[in-house]
Amino acid sequence: MKIFIAGATGAVGLPLVRALATLGHQVTGMTRPGQGPDRLRELGAKVSFADAFDREAVHRAIEASAPDVVIDQLTWLPANPADIIKAMPNDTRLHREGGANLLDAAENLGVRRYIMQSRGFYLEAPAGALADETARLRYDAPGEIGESTRTIGAYEDRVLASPLDGVVLRYGFFYGPGTWYRPDGAIADQARKGESAIVGDGNGVWSFVHIDDAIAATVASVTAEPGTYNVVDDDPLPVAEWLPAFTRWVDAPEPQRVSAEDALKTAGEEAVYYHTRLTGASNGRAMADLGFAPRPLPWKDA
């Protein structure tokens, strides 16, 4: 099968290229000039140079590749997680404009299947419940998070309404190799510096997923039934539980406690939202239809 991956040199992109190429698929990775092309070639992938914001360049890239499947793994994330909110407008624009360019090209060129990366941690659910695949993203989220959820939600709707076989993969927070959440990652570094904090009651529930488990689910989605899948682990936990366990796991001090009022002044409404409003997600459909078998969260019982 011929597969075209946009964002092929990102945290998900490179291991996904490796997995698909190992299975014998013909993979083309869309990227910009730099070190990424050499890494793609080492994995046996073809390289396509295109800027996601350039509609015509994206069309030419997909036309030249003539894929059966297009996978959108585009993200715009900062090296430092403390800058996530500052980077979010660029990430939102990338999904709004870059995603539209990819989907338009795929539809116009007769691609069979379209798979997009979405968010499994911005979902709407009643307090104390987990969000399933029917849940909508939280369009009423504050600030830049709200802009992101509304953009990604509209993108999801377009993919699912497309004449193509549309697949939406709602990933949890990634942990494991190459991510922020690992013993030598950026979040662990912050924790060891004593910069970790729990805002308010820390009752926002987070769903994580190991990067390799996310890759396995994505590979399975190439041939699975179209639709929406929550690609999250079995251990959704409130911040007040998972963050202290994480700091113990990486031999860091216990996190500080900060009131929501103080955090609102110093860190902004988005930071308060992350710690007090996020909803965990269920993964029943991914387990049933993708053969998804997520590993336990390694710091859960630390």
**CA-wise closest residue to 30 among 120, 22, 54, 231:** 54
Question: What is the arithmetic mean of pLDDT over 115-142?
Answer: 95
Task: Please answer whether residues 252 and 196 qualify as being in contact, where contact means their C-beta atoms are separated by less than 8 angstroms.
Answer: yes
pLDDT digits (tens, 9 = 90+) for 94-104: 999 999 999 99
Question: What is the arithmetic mean of pLDDT over 21-37?
Answer: 89
pLDDT band at 127 (very low <50, low <70, confident <90, very high): confident
pLDDT at 302 over 90: no
What is the distance between the alpha carbons of residues 281 and 258, in angstroms, rounded to a whole number?
26
Tokens, residue 145: 């998070």
Question: What is the arithmetic mean of pLDDT over 179-185?
Answer: 95
The CB density around residue 85, as the number of other CB atoms within 10 Å, is: 18
pLDDT digits (tens, 9 = 90+) for 32-86: 877 688 899 999 999 999 999 999 999 999 999 999 999 999 999 888 888 999 9
**pTM to 2 decimal places:** 0.96
Residues, the chain: 302
